[in-house]
Amino acid sequence: MKNITFYIRNITKAIFLFVDLLRYKLSGKSPNEKYPLLLNSFYVFGGIMNNMGTKLLKKRKTNFIASKGLLGNLSSNELENASQFLKENGFVVLENVLSEDLCEKMLNLSLKIPGSNRVMDLGQNAPYSGLYNRVSPSSNRFEYDGTTLVNQPEIQEILADESLMAFAQEYLGGSPILDLVSMWWHAPFKQEADQNAAQWFHFDMERVKWIKFFFYITDVDTNSGPHTFIPKTHRTRGIPATLRRKGYVRLSDEEVSEHFSQDSWQEFTGKRGTLIVEDTRGLHKGKHCLTGDRLLFQLEYTVSDYGAAIAIPVLHLDNASNKMLDAIKKYPLTYSMIKIE
Ligand SMILES: O=C(O)CCC(=O)C(=O)O
Ligand SMILES: [Fe+2]
């Protein structure tokens, strides 16, 4: 009886979500207040409503040139294999995507632009905004905001890259919209994994469908905070219901290992310039850092801006490189979640 009421209640919520997705498709307006229904439907149905929402909201594909840019060294066969691997496993690793020179420039940039501390669980550190102190970090995670980043020419090199858009589109099945630009340090401020710093396992769920590009800007070994993913958990019901139904929370290694043995966790060590493309609907974390540190740059592309409210980055035209300006002119939908002024 309890079970029947549970399903009736949640199927009703799924219907409300469907109506809201339809309303959004017709009006193009996302007031976001129905977003908790998307979360709820994921806990209960494990991605079925995300798949439906994707079909409904995805935009017609754009003609990108897949060989133009950072992934241009890969043959079309290699790109296809990488894409297939990503669909099957939820991640794919591509090495030497960023040049040494660009990584060095981004590393230097990270020490010149302001950012802020992620406040730790239990408030173990004080909030801080300013330049990063690599010698004496004051948080497990120090991060830069979207507006600061999109105005930097080094970052625009990556934002305007057509081969990344083509790769994202192949995965998403519709034209990609750039919806997150971020960069952060992992540092051994405290030796334990911090939940607030995304160092415990979790799934992301801000959109119906999205794909993340994680670029390592420093060399990453097992102690310096490698990104970690559990293969195939991005699939529909890939995360067991017992874990999903805990809600939008962080999960300890112990509870995750009851369902997925530690041997199956993919810990990505790699040289700077390495790119991990990942569907973070699957279980993942940034393993906490014990020694050294890690600088990571992240892009997210989505099929639709339906979902959680986020801060929209502002790009000042005076700061835009020619390549960036061309890309904005050519692909306005891709940059529709950046305010350009
Ligand atoms: O730092 C990482 O490797 C993962 C971060 C993450 O999962 C998040 O910010 O949601
Ligand atoms: Fe995450």
**What is the position in ligand 1's atom list of the atom closest to the CA of 280?**
7
Rounded Cα distance, 179 and 336, in Å: 9
State the closest ligand 1 atom to the C-alpha of 141, by its place in the atom list counted from 1. 1
Residue 333 counted as domain residue: yes
242, two tokens: 């017992």
- CATH number, domain with residue 172: 2.60.120.620
CA 94 – CA 260 distance, rounded (Å): 25
Residue 329 within any structural domain of the chain:
yes
Could you tell me the two tokens for 309? 């409210």
Q: Is 95 exposed, middle or buried (0-12, 13-18, 19+ CB in 10 A)?
A: exposed
Q: Give the number of C-alpha atoms closer than 13 A to the C-alpha of residue 311, restricted to the C-beta side.
A: 11
**Which residues is 178 bridged to in the sheet?**
301
Residue 223 structural domain: 64-340
Query: Block means of pLDDT (10 residues each) for the chain, length 341 residues?
Result: 87 95 87 88 97 97 94 94 98 98 98 93 85 94 97 97 98 98 96 89 97 98 98 98 93 96 98 98 96 98 94 97 97 97 94
- Output the pLDDT for position 30: 67
CA of 236 relative to ligand 1 center, distance in Å: 21
Kindly provide the residue ranges of all beta strands, DSSP E only, lying in the chain, ordered along the sequence.
91-94, 115-117, 129-130, 141-144, 177-186, 210-216, 227-229, 266-268, 275-278, 284-286, 294-302, 314-315, 339-340
Contact assessment for residue 204 and residue 286, using Cβ atoms and an 8 Å cutoff: no
Q: Is residue 3 part of a domain?
A: no
Number of domains in the chain: 1
* Contact indicator for 197, 143 with CB cutoff of 8 Å: no
Q: Which of 247, 280, 305 is closest to 41 using CA atoms? A: 247
CB within 8 Å of 134: residues ≥ 6 apart? 111, 185, 187, 293
Rounded distance from Cα 204 to ligand 2 centre (Å): 5
Say how many Å lie between the CA of residue 281 and the centre of ligand 2: 8
Tell me if 49 is assigned to some domain.
no
Residue 103 lies in a domain: yes
Q: Is 160 a domain residue?
A: yes
What's the whole-model pTM score? Answer: 0.97
Task: Give the model's pLDDT for residue 31.
Answer: 66
> Which residues have CB atoms below 5 A from the ion given as ligand 2?
198, 204
Establish if 5 belongs to a structural domain. Answer: no
User: Looking at residue 125, what is its pLDDT?
Assistant: 82
252 lies in some domain: yes
CA-nearest residue, atom 9 of ligand 1: 198
